[in-house]
Amino acid sequence: MRLDKFLSESTSLSRKEIKGLIKIGAVSVNGTTAKKSDIKVCEEDEISLNGESVQYRKYVYLVLNKPAGFISASEDRKYRCVTELVPDEYIHYNVFPVGRLDVDTEGLLILTNDGKFAHDVASPKKNVYKRYFARLSAPAEDHDRDAFKAGIEFKEFKAKPARLEICEDPCEVYVEIAEGKYHQVKRMFERVGKTVIYLKRVAVGGLGLPENSRPGDIFEVDKLWLDEKINGYGEK
Ligand code: URA
């Protein structure tokens, strides 16, 4: 790829700024000062900017502990968007949320600019289970567990088997679902006569919310590490 493309994808600098930096001799390729923006480089080349090595990065993966009150979108007229919580250094990557959490739902939300990864994690076909903690208006009952396991039927779809764990306080539960249909957890509980009064996603596949993280905290994670945590974790 062109040197200016390499640098614009890997830094927050614009192509114009990069051109200017190349002009003043601030960029080197394998130890030699670069003279032009359009020379061809590859990921293996050692590119430096003002003497600092620049690693090629096309995609980024962020894990957000989503606070309530933010919508899982990049643009909205009514609510603040989760993308407003992305630190400045990642803005140029144009990340978007992987799947959706309701505005009042808290917890684990991945943001990335890698469309294939986002599709794979959200797709019901990939069987990546999402785990939620919920507080209910009324105690969960054993037969709710059976109903969830059998797959709750809605007008437009039948939910895949879901796992329900009832806590010591039966108004508190953990539920795991492999899809992410609109208001799915809330609608599943509605069908068994309970209202979800608090909902938090605590895991996606084997990826849990970072320990001691607080709503609004956001972390960059490595793709290989993320793949290991998520892929192949769900029940086939
Ligand atoms: N199910 C819901 O009802 N809401 C969410 O935010 C996520 C899953």
Check whether 199 has a pLDDT greater than 90.
yes
CA distance 25 to 3: 13
Ligand 1 mean position, distance from CA 133 (Å): 11
The pLDDT of residue 118 is 93
Residue of 105, 177, 197 best suited for mutating to test ligand 1, as the one with most atoms within 8 Å of CB: 105
pLDDT band for position 210 (50/70/90)?
A: confident
For the stretch 180-191, pLDDT in tens is 899 999 999 999
Answer whether 72 contacts ligand 1 (Cβ < 6 A). Answer: no
The pLDDT of residue 233 is 53
Active site residues: 102
CA distance 147 to 131: 17
The pLDDT of residue 234 is 47
The mean pLDDT value for 19-28 works out to 96
Most confident listed range (124-128, 132-136, 156-160): 132-136
Radius of gyration, alpha carbons of the chain? 22
Answer whether 183 contacts ligand 1 (Cβ < 6 A). Answer: yes
Sole residue written with tokens 């990921």: 43
pLDDT band for position 232 (50/70/90)?
A: low
Could you give the C-alpha distances from 153 to 72, 158, 166, in angstroms and in order? Answer: 26, 4, 21
Answer whether 184 contacts ligand 1 (Cβ < 6 A). Answer: yes
CA distance 4 to 40: 9
Instruction: Report the chain's mean pLDDT, rounded to a whole number.
Output: 93
For the stretch 146-164, pLDDT in tens is 999 999 999 999 999 999 9
Check whether 236 has a pLDDT greater than 50.
no
The pLDDT of residue 211 is 85
Q: Are strands 207-208 and 32-33 parallel, antiparallel or unpaired?
A: unpaired
